[in-house]
């Protein structure tokens, strides 16, 4: 929310509420659920908004030289968080406890002192990070000249398999390089523009099964955008993901939002043949291969996981 254009502090509560409604609506595809969430604000959310509004007005009163932007930022952002969560709660997307777990589930490498993969930082992998479920590591492609030296050492750090996301390169040769170091290899090629192909869709069940094994190193050219996309696909199509992935390529809220929207669009294209999401593209056999009870269960879960990804990455 851009507070810099607020000319009157009295209008901030109204703007904050409108922002909360707009962001929650984007997260909840069902118009009926969205409307229910937008019209049934809880007393807690209303009280929080009221208290924050008074705080902003008081700050403005005693600090007349302070800009509206900073007054609003400090006093009303907490109310915006509560409103967003309440909308999701009352729309039946997630309950309070789940929302709390989701918003605290992203693991930062510096805070992951217990992870067995933390010593792998010594390899100086570009854009190194431990996945949020702590089952593997991510980073730039290990198939450059420098990367090949890293491959030879991966096993010493608990890595058993490599998932290569680059669309170029010889998978046979890359597989041989990994085999020499005692590592399994999988090619899950994602184009540079991140547009997914039928090959990607067909490989999703194998890809998800490979990540379930854990102890993996996954990477694209830089270990950022395509790696975000791949880990998000695992999150959406794995029936029992351990955590919600963090979008590492998002260096700002706007960029993170753009990355998430691109992923959401890709997931929609995988699941449906039409923009209205009325005709499923996937089959019952596809859902069964992934471990879902049926295709409807998978498709019904997608909106909730979109909301969760948005919450965790703070883009609602």
pLDDT, one tens digit per residue, over 212-223 is: 999 999 999 999
The confidence band for 115, taking pLDDT boundaries of 50, 70 and 90, is: confident
Region 160-176 average pLDDT: 93
CATH number at residue 134: 3.90.190.10
- Segment 131-150, tens digit of pLDDT: 988 999 999 998 877 777 89
pLDDT at 87 over 60: no
Residues 153, 268: one domain?
A: yes
What confidence score (pLDDT) does residue 313 get?
83
CA distance 25 to 175: 45
Statement: residue 38 has pLDDT above 90: no
Q: Are residues 154 and 300 in the same domain?
A: yes
Q: What is the pLDDT of residue 226?
A: 95
Mean pLDDT of 9-33: 51
Say whether pLDDT at 21 is over 80.
no
Q: Which residue has the higher pLDDT, 10 or 267?
A: 267
Average the pLDDT over each of 7-21, 53-67, 82-96, 171-185 and give the range with the smallest value: 53-67
pLDDT range class, residue 166, cuts 50, 70, 90 = very high
How many independent structural domains does the chain possess?
Answer: 2
Q: Supply the range of the domain harboring residue 281.
A: 109-312
My answer on whether 133 and 75 are in the same domain is: no
Q: Rounded mean pLDDT of 107-125?
A: 72
| Residue 262 and residue 143 share a domain | yes
Which residues make Cβ contacts (< 8 Å) with residue 191, sequence separation at least 6?
167, 197
Rounded to whole angstroms, what are the CA distances from 38 to 91, 98, 100, 301?
8, 20, 20, 21
102 vs 287: which has the higher pLDDT: 287
pLDDT at 276: 87
For the chain, the DSSP string reads --GGG---GGGHHHHHHHHHHHHHHHH---HHHHHHHHH---HHHHHHHHHHHHHHHHHHHH-TTS-HHHHHHHHHHHHHHHHHHHHHHHTTS--HHHHHHHHT-PPPGGG-TT-TTGGGGGG--TT-EE-TTSSEEEEE-TTSHHHHHHHHHHGGGT--EEEE--SSS-HHHHHHHHHHTT-EEEE----TT----HHHHHHHHHHHHHHHT--EEEEESSSSHHHHHHHHHHHHH-SS-SSPPP-TT--SHHHHHHHHHHHHHHHHHHHBSSTTS-SB-S-HHHHHHHT-S-HHHHHHHHHHHHHHHHHHTT--
Average pLDDT score over the chain = 77
Q: Which of 93, 118, 144 is the last residue of a domain?
A: 93
45: pLDDT strictly greater than 70: no
Residue 104 inside a domain? The answer is no
The answer, yes or no, to whether residue 298 has pLDDT greater than 90, is yes
Q: What is the DSSP string of 85-110?
A: HHHHHHTTS--HHHHHHHHT-PPPGG
Which of 57-61, 102-106, 228-232: highest mean pLDDT? 228-232
């Amino acid at each position: 929310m851009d507070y810099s254009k607020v000319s009157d502090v009295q209008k901030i509560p109204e703007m904050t509420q409108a922002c909360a409604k707009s962001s929650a609506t984007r997260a909840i595809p069902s118009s009926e659920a969205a409307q229910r969430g937008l019209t049934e604000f809880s007393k807690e959310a209303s009280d929080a908004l009221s208290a924050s509004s008074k705080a902003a007005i008081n700050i403005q009163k005693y600090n007349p030289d302070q800009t509206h932007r900073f007054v609003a930022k400090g006093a009303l952002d907490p109310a915006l968080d509560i409103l967003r969560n309440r909308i999701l709660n009352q729309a039946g997307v997630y309950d309070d406890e789940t929302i709390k777990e989701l918003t605290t589930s992203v693991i930062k490498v510096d805070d992951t002192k217990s992870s067995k993969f933390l010593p792998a930082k010594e390899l100086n992998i570009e854009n190194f990070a431990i996945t949020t479920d702590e089952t593997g590591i991510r980073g730039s492609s290990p198939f450059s000249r420098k990367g090949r030296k890293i491959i030879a050492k991966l096993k010493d750090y608990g890595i058993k398999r490599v998932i290569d996301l680059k669309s170029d390169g010889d998978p046979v040769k890359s597989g041989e390089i990994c085999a020499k170091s005692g590592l399994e290899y999988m090619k899950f090629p994602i184009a540079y523009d991140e547009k997914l192909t039928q090959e990607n869709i067909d490989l999703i069940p194998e890809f998800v099964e490979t990540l379930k094994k854990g102890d993996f190193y996954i990477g694209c050219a830089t270990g950022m955008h395509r790696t975000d996309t791949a880990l998000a696909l695992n999150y959406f199509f794995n029936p029992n993901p351990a955590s919600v992935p963090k979008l590492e390529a998002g260096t700002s809220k706007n960029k993170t939002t753009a990355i998430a929207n691109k992923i959401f669009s890709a997931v929609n294209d995988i699941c449906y043949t039409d923009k209205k999401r009325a005709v499923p593209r996937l089959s019952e056999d596809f859902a069964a291969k992934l471990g879902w009870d049926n295709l409807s269960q998978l498709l019904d879960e997608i909106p909730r996981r979109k909301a969760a990804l948005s919450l965790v990455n703070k883009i609602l």
